[in-house]
């Protein structure tokens, strides 16, 4: 029985958690799951209506405290707003889930300002949030970066998006080597196709792809986040790749 208890998932109850991109898709599903399990969750979003909808559902299930902030994480001002709210709500930070992301296609599309916004949101915000989170973690903590299979597949139609997700991959590997000696865990989760707004398909088609095992749900990735957070201190899930059963690339 002692051995069994040792490997039962560690609780996220009462953990103080910051989740970016938390009002839709994977971030929203993760916030709902961790909040229902008793974590104190701060959700960050940009769209006010999406935030209101998420908070309405969070308040139905939450067993911990819920905090929220509207901020544009492509800007230094937005990052500052988030961590000002963190400091007003939490005395420390246990977990950061970097999830915010914007879709984008090829470098032959758009312009400098558009590319900059995507890079700032998808990559620089991860770096900035990690920098701020590490100063608030007290000799223990966990950073979960949500990447993408695009970092490995490198689709020809998405070079800008691929660049950001490849950057997250390299950044996460290097950061872990730096901070794990301080008791901080770093996990990179790289999903395949997931039924979220990032997928440019009609809703019915996405649901069909889920049914036919060609696409995951946001709840599947939220469960993966929980799995990584639930391991004993000695166990680091460094890189978790999760794909739909019939996604072969």
Mean pLDDT of the chain: 93
* Stated pTM of the model: 0.92
With H, G, I as helix, E, B as strand and everything else as coil, classify residue 70.
Answer: strand
Of 81, 210, 66, 228, whose CA–CA distance to 144 is shortest?
228
Spatial separation of the C-alpha atoms in residues 4 and 7, rounded to whole Å: 5
The catalytic residues are: 161
Share of the chain above pLDDT 70, in %: 94
Q: Is 247 exposed, middle or buried (0-12, 13-18, 19+ CB in 10 A)?
A: middle
1 pLDDT band, cuts 50/70/90, is: very low
Can you give the residue ranges of every domain in the chain?
Answer: 2-239
Give dist(CA 171, CA 183) in Å, integer: 18
Chain mean position to CA 91: 22
pLDDT (mean) for 180-194 = 95
Q: For 84-106, b where at least 16 C-beta lie within 10 A, e where not — what string?
A: ebbeebbeebbbbbbbbbbebbe
* pLDDT at site 214: 84
pLDDT (tens digit, 9 = 90+) per residue, 56-94?
Answer: 999 999 999 999 999 999 999 999 999 999 999 999 999
Confidence band of 119 (pLDDT split at 50, 70, 90): very high
18: helix, coil or strand?
strand
CB atoms within 10 A of CB 178: 11
* CATH no., domain 2-239: 3.40.50.720
32-65 pLDDT tens trace: 999 999 999 999 999 999 999 999 999 999 999 9
């Amino acid at each position: 029985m002692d051995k069994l208890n040792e490997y039962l998932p560690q609780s996220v109850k009462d953990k103080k958690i910051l989740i970016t991109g938390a009002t839709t898709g994977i971030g929203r599903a993760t916030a709902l799951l961790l909040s229902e399990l008793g974590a104190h969750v701060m959700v960050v979003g940009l769209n006010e209506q999406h935030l209101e909808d998420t908070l309405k559902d969070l308040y139905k299930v939450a067993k911990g405290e819920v905090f929220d902030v509207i901020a544009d994480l492509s800007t230094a001002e937005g990052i500052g707003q988030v961590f000002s709210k963190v400091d007003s709500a939490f005395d420390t930070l246990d977990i950061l889930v970097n999830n915010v992301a914007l879709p984008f296609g090829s470098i032959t599309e758009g312009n400098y300002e558009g590319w900059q916004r995507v890079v700032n949101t998808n990559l620089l915000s991860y770096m900035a949030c990690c920098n701020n989170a590490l100063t608030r973690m007290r000799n223990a903590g966990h950073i979960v970066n949500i990447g993408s299979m695009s970092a490995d597949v490198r689709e020809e139609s998405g070079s800008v998006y691929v660049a950001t997700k490849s950057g997250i991959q390299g950044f996460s590997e290097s950061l872990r080597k730096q901070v794990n000696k301080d008791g901080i865990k770093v996990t990179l989760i790289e999903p395949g196709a997931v039924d979220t707004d990032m997928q440019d398909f009609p809703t019915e088609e996405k649901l069909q792809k889920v049914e036919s095992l060609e696409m995951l749900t946001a709840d599947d990735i939220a469960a993966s986040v929980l799995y990584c957070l639930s391991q004993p201190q000695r166990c680091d899930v460094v890189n978790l790749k999760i794909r739909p059963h019939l996604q072969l690339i």
